[in-house]
Each structure stands twice: as C-alpha cells, then as structure tokens.
A and B are shown apart, each in its own frame.
Chain A
Amino acid sequence: MSDAELATPFRQRAGGAMKDAFLQEALTIATTKFIGLRREAFASFPEGEALRDRARAIKEATLQHLDRHLETLIDNVERLGGHVHFAATPAEARAIIVDIARRTGARIAVKSKSMATEEIHLNEALEAAGVTPVETDLGEYIIQLAHERPSHIIAPAIHKTKGQVAELFTRELKRPAEPDPEALTRIARAELREKFLQADLGITGANFAVADTGTVVLVTNEGNGRMVTSLPRVHVAVMGVEKMVPSFTDLMVFLAILAKSATGQKLSVYTSLVRGPRRAGELEGPEEFHLVLLDGGRIAQIAGPLREALSCLRCGACLNVCPVYRQIGGHAYGYTYPGPIGILLTAMLEGASAVKDLAHASSLCGACADACPVRIDIPRMLIELRREVDEEKIAPWTERLAFALLAMLFRRPRLYRLAAKIGRVVQRLFTRDGRIRALPLVFGEWTRTRDLPPVAPRTFQERWAADKDLRA
C-alpha cells in the first residue's frame, strides 16, 4: 500500500471497507465458502489432526537448528549448480534480483504468485530497472493490471466483480471482453502464454525448501509455477528463511494439510519440486538457478516474541474465519499480509509501531488459532503485541492512562468493589436495553466500535456471600 493510503487511519480504512456493499458481499461469500471447503476436507481425513501436530513439531524442530538446515540447503543448491544469495533487508533482496536481471539481459520477467516478492515490492524495482514484471497467477494478473494489491493471501482478487475484470481487460489489453469468468480466463491464458514463451526471467517464491536435497517446492493450481520454472532461461526463487523443512519425509506431512487448509483440496493441482538448473538431457528448465534467502525481520524472531509466527504456511485459513477480516477485507490492514497472521507478520517485518492500531483489530476469539494448520497461537501473540505497543508508549496517552487506572483498580479488591458500586449507579445514565452503547468524552473511544457490558446488578462476590446459607 502506498504511504498516502497508510496515512489514512486504520479505523477510517476499515470503516470505508464496511460501507462498500460489494466488498461486504464478496467477503462473506468467499470466506464462507473457504470455511466450508476446509471443514469438509478435514472431516473426511481422520489423520488430519495428528498430522497438524506433527507439522507443528517439525516446524519447531527445524527452527531449533535453522542454521544447520540452511547450511545444508545452501550446500546442496550450490552442489546442483545453483547460486544462493543472502538478503538482510527487502532493499538488498531487490538489488540482488535486479542485478541478476541486468546481468542476464532480461527484459520480461514472469512471476508466479509469491507473497515474499510482494513483501519486498519487487515489481516497482524491476520496472525501474527496465524489466517488465508480469504476474501470471490469474488473480495477481488482474490486480497488477488494476495497479492494486492483493486482498487475500490465496485469492488476491476476490474484491473484484467479473464485470470489473471485463472492463479492465477491455481497457488494458485492448481486447473486448465479456463479463464471463470462462471467457476472461481464456483471454488471460492467451495473453500470458505469450509472455511465458517470451520471458527471460522466471521469478517465484517457495512454499517450502527441502534442506537435504536442495529442493524448492512450489504449489499452484493454475500451472503458472511450472511454466515459470520450466520455460525462462533464468529462475530466481525468493524465500523467507523460515520456509525450511529438513527432508522429503517432512515435506509430505505439510503437503497433506496445506491445500486442505487453503482451498479444501486434497492436494493443489500442481506441486513442483525443483532442484537447481536443468540437467544434461533435459529439454526445458533454466540454465541458471538462483535462490534468494530473505531475513527482513524473521531472524530476530527466532529468539523473539513472534517466533511462533515463523511456522506460518501462508494458507489463508485464519483470514477466512476471522470476524474482523470478514468485515474489512485485506486492503484495510494496509500491509502485504492481511488477517490475524498478517498483523503478526507486519509487526515482524515492519516493527511493532506499524501495528499499534492493527494489534487491536481482533476480538481475540481464537478462531484463527483453531483454523491454523500448524496451530499457531495467534491471539497470545496479539496480546503480547498490545502490551508491547503500550509499554513502548506507542499507544496514545489517554489509552495508556485508562489501562494504568484499570490495572490499579484490579490490584485493590476494596477499591474495586467500591468502583463497582459507583459504576452501578453511574451507568444508569448510559445503559440502554441492558448494554452501554455510548459514553461521553474520551471514554467514547471505547464505545465507538463496541458495546460495554454494564456492571451486573449483583456482583459475583455479593452473590457468593448471599448464597452462603444455600450452599451450607
């Protein structure tokens, strides 16, 4: 998202999204469908629950020796004739890739869907260097033509209607297009097929990298991942350091749950395991293979409060079940990664100050942790982030003062009981139909977006004392 858009407060971005009737309908339909598909997939897969635990344990075990596994991966990729690059920051990653593009004389780069390259804003850098980047995932292609950013990790264009896509194709591709998904897909196939055959450079992310065989694993449904890794002269894969798995045995555990969590498929249509450049005797495959390992804030979290988020598979399951995401969609979050996990990843990549509002964009209901295939405890880390935002004095002083007063009250039982008595009297002024819906002054900040439950007519303590006889 542009700085100008980010300058709009989160609350305003979210408010705008909630007033967008089409977006609201699209979000409800998409997320509800994904939830149903995921549920069905796991319902007919009894070993699923055990595999989720297994997958989580593998991620944790891999992190505990990440240095060793990465060394093995690097050695293997180099042994296979590939090149490995190391990027501490998005800027370094961009410079590495632009340099590869320049050195190989690339003019067109085809890209398969990759959150890592979104994260480092690669397309702008390529364009500036005179290389035309072409997104080839249909959703990403639509987004690129519209100069927007993805709104869902696995369905980037769910916020667009077929009518809008048809207009976009007619205008940008100079091809009259009917608002029919089948016809629109045919147009995209023809346009992109040409690009695949012309491109010099293929750029992908990596869903996984298998250390002990030097394998990069790409999962797609459309087949663009296969095109991008087979047809251009040069293949560059960009991956966050956390995408490691030690062996093929481990990989199969993840493949068994990834697509089920994302789209409810048993497997995505294409899973491609690629090991370096093409070998002797092969007709296709790149002459050059480059792997760009990306830190971007991940490495610090190996020993940081967001460590668990390094297990994320980017399946999008937590977005679909999140009551906040379902209301506001991906764009309102303002950064590359939306949804509950997106808040954590944004804090990881951009620092806690980037999420001072986002950290509160959660009801902490725990649906995300339930849906997560590797059981990441997202709510726990959101609470951590809220504390950090508070302690680092990133939150406004009124908010910090209010919480400091509450904390004082909670530590003093007599004062607390007294406050409850006072509150019970004062709240009469504000209570309507059993809820406090609006408060005056700075307290109004709280009730602007949520109700406040009133103090009960009898507190638990009072009932406990009163019912003593009954218990006896």
Chain B
Amino acid sequence: MTRAEFLERIRERVRMSPGRFDASPAARPRHPAADAEIIRRELAERWPQTLEAFRREFESVAGVFHRTATIDMVPAVVAEIARERGARELVSWHAAALGADLGAPLGALGLDVHQMPAAEPSDGAERQRLRAIAGRADLGLTGVDLAIAETGTLVLVSGAGRPRSTSLLPPCHVAVFDRTALLESLRQVGVFLEAWHGDGRPPAGGAAINFITGPSRTADIELTLTRGVHGPKEVHAIFVEQPIRG
C-alpha cells in the first residue's frame, strides 16, 4: 500500500469520529533550552539532596554507587572494581566524551585499556575489530549525560567516541558522572529531550539515547530474578564531586 492510500484511509476514519472526549497532548515547553537551563540552575543549589535520592534509587535497582572527590581519583576506583573481579581488559569511551583522559593512569594500574576512537572507523574491518574488543572486554567505562534521581537511571547519548556497545557488551559497566548530570524527575528529562531536539544542543550527535536503570535482568524462568542476561551483570556509577570539565 502507498503512503497516500494509507494516510487517506486514516484521514477518512479520523473525520468520521469526533473522539470520545475533549483531550489534548501534554503541554510542551515553549523554550525548552531555556527551561532546561533554569532546571540546571535550580538543581545546582540542591544537588546533594538530588544525589542522595539518586543513590538510593540506583542501589535499589542493584546499582553499585561510588564517590570520589576528583576525576583523578577515578582510575583507582575502577582498578579496585577490576581487581575484585579478576578483570583485566577495559574498553572506554574516548577521552573527549569522558571529559578526561584516564587511559594512561588506568594502564599504570595494570589494566589493558582500549580507548574508542573519536572518529568513525575507516572501513568495515576496523569496525569489526573495535566491536570485537567491546565484545571481549571485562569492563566498559562510559560517561553519563543525565542521571535521574526519581528512578536511579543513567542516560547515555550515542555518538562519535561514545559507542553504544561500551555500556552493553562487557559484563560490567562503570559510568562516571558529576553534579551537572543530575536531574530529579522524568518530567525534567522530558524538558532536556525537548531541548536537545529543539532549540538546544544534544550532548552528542548519535542516533540512540539509552536509559539504563540497573543491570540487565530477566525473570522469564519461573519468575526467578536473574541478572546479566544480555547486557551487563553489574552497573557501577562513580560520582565525582569536583565537576569533571572544571
């Protein structure tokens, strides 16, 4: 069926029905970028409460929460997570996407670090090679674009230097964030999504935005909760007190 025929079919039925009651979709922010900015500014004053709420929710979905003073202290936390799990290989977002280059210090702590390139792979073979690394790595290190306190959720936007697989293929995902990512509610997330696709700028130019609320889980066999079915079995969030980008 063609687009015109299909739409005409719908148009005809829509004309025939006045609807069951008066209704309107949700009122959208008129200037979402400005509204997002206001939310950020308001939250800047009460981030400790928001962080505490986030920690509570994140832990209730089996996330593991860590806290450090500065970004320089993150590699030690990551190395400790690796040591406890006997993990060696780590795949990481590009330094520009993380906001800091942690490759050298992580390497110095004995980890085998693969930083994903900031540019698109030159050919299919290179793409396969990079994907294979993500496939065999023990740890995946990413940044966070939004952290939602209401639900304990991490929001990651895909793009150059921020592969989707880093937070998906390794059995353990470690995400690093600071107060600028914190939001209180899903409603606020709506404002940010509107801004990113409207009069504001998204954090990255990829085609996927992923909301991650704890480790991968299933209860499909006799309702027994089991973690790590396809995605990571563990999700760690490292909060950095000093804003990462200064």
A contact residues vs B (CB 8 Å cutoff): 26, 29-30, 33, 54, 56-58, 60-67, 70-71, 74, 80, 84, 86-88, 92, 136-139, 142, 155-158, 160-162, 165, 181-182, 184-185, 188-189, 192-193, 196-197, 212-213, 221-224, 226-227, 229-231, 241, 245-253, 255-256, 263, 265-285, 293, 295, 299-300, 302-304, 307-308
Identify 29 residue pairs between A and B in the complex whose beta-carbon atoms are under 8 Å apart, listed by A's number.
Answer: A63-B17, A64-B23, A65-B14, A67-B11, A80-B207, A86-B6, A88-B6, A138-B220, A157-B220, A157-B221, A165-B221, A185-B218, A185-B228, A189-B229, A193-B230, A224-B230, A249-B27, A249-B190, A251-B193, A253-B26, A267-B213, A268-B213, A269-B217, A270-B210, A277-B207, A281-B160, A293-B6, A303-B16, A308-B20
**Measured CA separation A255–B188 after assembly (Å):** 13
**Measured CA separation A88–B10 after assembly (Å):** 11
Q: Which of B68-76, B78-86, B161-169 contacts A (4 or more CB under 8 A)?
A: B161-169
Chain A nearest CB, measured from B15 CB (Å): 8
**Measured CA separation A271–B186 after assembly (Å):** 12
Of the candidates A222, A230, A252, A276, the one whose C-beta lies within 8 Å of that of B165 is A230
**Measured CA separation A281–B193 after assembly (Å):** 21
Of the candidates A181, A246, A283, A299, the one whose C-beta lies within 8 Å of that of B131 is A283
Interface 1/0s, chain B 18-48, versus A by CB < 8 A? 0111011111110000000000000000000
**Measured CA separation A342–B193 after assembly (Å):** 33
Chain B nearest CB, measured from A141 CB (Å): 8
CB–CB B206/A63 < 8 A: no
- Determine whether B1 belongs to the interface, using a CB cutoff of 8 Å to chain A: yes
**Measured CA separation A282–B158 after assembly (Å):** 7
- Determine whether B214 belongs to the interface, using a CB cutoff of 8 Å to chain A: yes
- Determine whether B13 belongs to the interface, using a CB cutoff of 8 Å to chain A: yes
For A212, list chain B residues within 8 Å (CB): 197
For A88, list chain B residues within 8 Å (CB): 1, 6, 9
> Taking CB as reference atom, which chain A residue is nearest B160?
A281
- Determine whether B123 belongs to the interface, using a CB cutoff of 8 Å to chain A: no
Of the candidates A54, A67, A221, A248, the one whose C-beta lies within 8 Å of that of B193 is A248
> Taking CB as reference atom, which chain A residue is nearest B128?
A197
- Determine whether B194 belongs to the interface, using a CB cutoff of 8 Å to chain A: yes
**Measured CA separation A269–B13 after assembly (Å):** 37
Q: Given that A226-B231, A281-B205 are known contacts, is A221 also in contact with B164, CB under 8 Å in the complex?
A: no
CB–CB A86/B2 < 8 A: yes
CB–CB A247/B25 < 8 A: yes
Q: Given that A138-B229, A248-B197, A250-B26 are known contacts, is A70 also in contact with B187, CB under 8 Å in the complex?
A: no
